[in-house]
């Protein structure tokens, strides 16, 4: 919503720049898509490594202390 309002303000101030931004946005999005996918993959690998390293502690019952009720 804020992006649209900012674009409308840019349209009022400088309509050629607003139209250029409207045309270039999908191109920039497509160029940045591989970097976003790499970021998701790296994050998934780190979560997998954390799960593998924490598995022995979880199997032995480690973790936060549980208070008996």
- Residue 1's pLDDT band, with cuts at 50, 70 and 90, is very high
The per-residue DSSP string of 7-33 comes to HHHHHHH-HHHHHHHHHHHHHHHHHHH
Structural domain including 46 reads 25-62
Q: Is residue 69 part of a domain?
A: no
pLDDT in tens, 33-44: 999 999 999 999
Domain count, the chain: 1
Q: Is residue 15 part of a domain?
A: no
What's the pTM value of the predicted model, to 2 decimals?
Answer: 0.58
Distance, in Å, from the CA atom of 23 to the CA atom of 11, rounded to the nearest integer, reads 13
pLDDT in tens, 27-67: 999 999 999 999 999 999 999 999 999 988 888 886 666 66
Distance, in Å, from the CA atom of 67 to the CA atom of 54, rounded to the nearest integer, reads 22
Distance, in Å, from the CA atom of 48 to the CA atom of 44, rounded to the nearest integer, reads 6
Query: What pLDDT, on the 0 to 100 scale, is given for residue 65?
Result: 61
């Amino acid at each position: 919503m804020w992006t649209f309002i900012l674009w409308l303000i840019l349209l009022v101030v400088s309509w050629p720049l607003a139209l250029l931004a409207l045309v270039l946005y999908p191109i920039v999005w497509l160029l940045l898509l591989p970097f976003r996918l790499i970021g998701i993959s790296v994050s998934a690998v780190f979560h997998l490594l954390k799960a593998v390293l924490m598995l022995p502690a979880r199997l032995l019952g480690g973790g936060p202390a549980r208070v008996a009720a």
